[in-house]
Amino acid sequence: MSHALPPAFTDILVVQAHPDDAEHGMAGTVARWTREGRRVHYLLCTSGDKGSADPHARPSDVARQREAEQREAGRRLGLASVQFLGRPDGELEVSLAFRAEVTAVIRAVRPQLVATFDPWRPYQLHPDHRAVGQVTLDAVIAARDPLYYPEQRRDGLEAYRVREVWLWSTDQPDVWIDITDTLELKLHALQAHVSQLGDWTARAERIRERARAVGSRYGVAYAEEFKRLVLLG
């Protein structure tokens, strides 16, 4: 059965590298959760400032446009918040400083569920996607114990224990969500990323086909699937 989150899961944090990553990875699921009245928050580690094919484009202009596109996609999905760390596109690395920033956001938002890339997916080429998945998991661990980044308490950020982590872009899925009712909204949210659309008709068909292939494994029209990690204790 399509996985139902407990009512106590009121806040969800989705951590991603670039504008449109989460729309591709899980917007059908996000739309279901916002329709259920849950608060879904997006954290963008970069603003996608290298996401242009124009060699004369100014990265700061690209970033500004893509932040606006991401906010519009968020509005269409009914997100509770969209925030940007502003790190340079293409330069994310697994570091303690980066981990501290994501830890602070987890402690501020206090989500029961965090979603991100599966950093262990074989042949994941994009370095930002690998780094975000790894750092987010490391931050989930750091967030729960007060002796990690104790200076964050000065900003009112107390230790916080996340209950579950869901990984998209995984080849080891063990949970799925029926997105038959929200696939069109996922596509509508993706269309907000005007600078990234390319051949939209072909792209939309690929996205639809992928969701159909996943759905066929579970007997529904369209689905998204995830690796689910349940944190004990």
Q: Which two tokens mark 205? A: 């068909």
Site string for Zn ion, 15-34 (x = CB under 5 A): --xx--x-------------
Is the Cβ of residue 21 or residue 178 nearer to Zn ion in the bound state? 21
* Whether the Cβ atoms of residue 25 and residue 16 lie closer than 8 Å to each other: yes
**Residue 53 C-beta: closest distance to Zn ion, Å:** 15
Contact region with Zn ion (CB under 5 A), list: 12-20, 37-45, 76-84, 168-176 = 12-20
Is 150 buried (19+), middle (13-18) or exposed (0-12) by CB count in 10 A?
A: exposed
Is the Cβ of residue 152 or residue 195 nearer to Zn ion in the bound state? 195
Is 166 buried (19+), middle (13-18) or exposed (0-12) by CB count in 10 A?
A: buried
Alpha carbons 4 and 19: distance in angstroms, whole number: 27
Q: Which two tokens mark 103? A: 């830890």
Is the Cβ of residue 78 or residue 90 nearer to Zn ion in the bound state? 90
Contact region with Zn ion (CB under 5 A), list: 13-21, 130-138, 149-157, 184-192 = 13-21
Determine if 87 is a binding residue for Zn ion (CB under 5 A): no
Is the Cβ of residue 51 or residue 215 nearer to Zn ion in the bound state? 51
The residue count for the chain? 233
Interface residue list for Zn ion (CB under 5 A): 17-18, 21
